Amino acid sequence: MSTANQTRSGAEVPARPQGCTNLKLRQLGRRVTSHYDAELAKTGLKVTQYSLLSHVVKLGPLRPVDLAAAMRMSASTLSRNLQPLVAQGLLDILPGSDARSRLVVATDSGQLKRAEAQRRWRAAQERLNQILGVERVLALHTLIDEALELLALDETGEDDV
């Protein structure tokens, strides 16, 4: 991939990104989410539900506020996303340490559903690795991690990059 263009005189001019980075990332995100959703649909879950169920299995029982923080989502978004999993009997919301607090826990059915979905998620990941190539997936992960770190530094103002 070239990082420079040449002018008519032969001088090199640094290449500039073309198009909107946000649009490109959203297009990629939708395509990747669709890929995983298609595989997870075999379990009756969507990617967002699998992620939520996995967090509760790994971290739970925990307070909704702590779950929302761990997943980097708002309390209202978490509440909306919890409802279908509670209705399906995969998660339970139990009383917490005092009258005002609650704990989110995975039920036995939720534990089993998460294990089933984890197998489907692995299949989706392996297929994505085949389609894109392992080297490209590794490079993508590295690039995303670096971008997230730089954006986090920019948001906190700790470092001018």
Confidence of residue 3 (pLDDT cuts 50, 70, 90): low
**CA nearest neighbour of 60 among 15, 111, 136, 99:** 111
Residue with tokens 């989706």: 124
Confidence of residue 55 (pLDDT cuts 50, 70, 90): very high
Model pLDDT, residue 93: 94
Residue with tokens 């420079």: 4
**CA nearest neighbour of 147 among 2, 55, 28:** 28
pTM for the whole thing? 0.78
Confidence of residue 16 (pLDDT cuts 50, 70, 90): confident
Q: List, in order of start, the domains of the chain with CATH numbers.
A: 21-131 (1.10.10.10)
The residue type found at 73 is M
| Res. 46: pLDDT tops 50 | yes
Model pLDDT, residue 161: 42
Model pLDDT, residue 53: 97
pLDDT tens, position by position, 118-151: 999 999 999 999 999 999 999 999 999 999 999 9
* DSSP conformation letters of 6-25: E-TTS-EEE----S-HHHHH
* Element housing 91 (H / E): strand 91-95
Q: Are 106 and 114 in contact (CB under 8 A)?
A: yes
- Considering 18-22, 38-42, 59-63, the range whose residues carry the highest mean pLDDT is 38-42
Instruction: Please name the residue ranges forming H helices in 60-133.
Output: 64-71, 75-87, 108-132
Residues in the chain: 161
Instruction: Report, as an integer, the average pLDDT of 92-97.
Output: 90
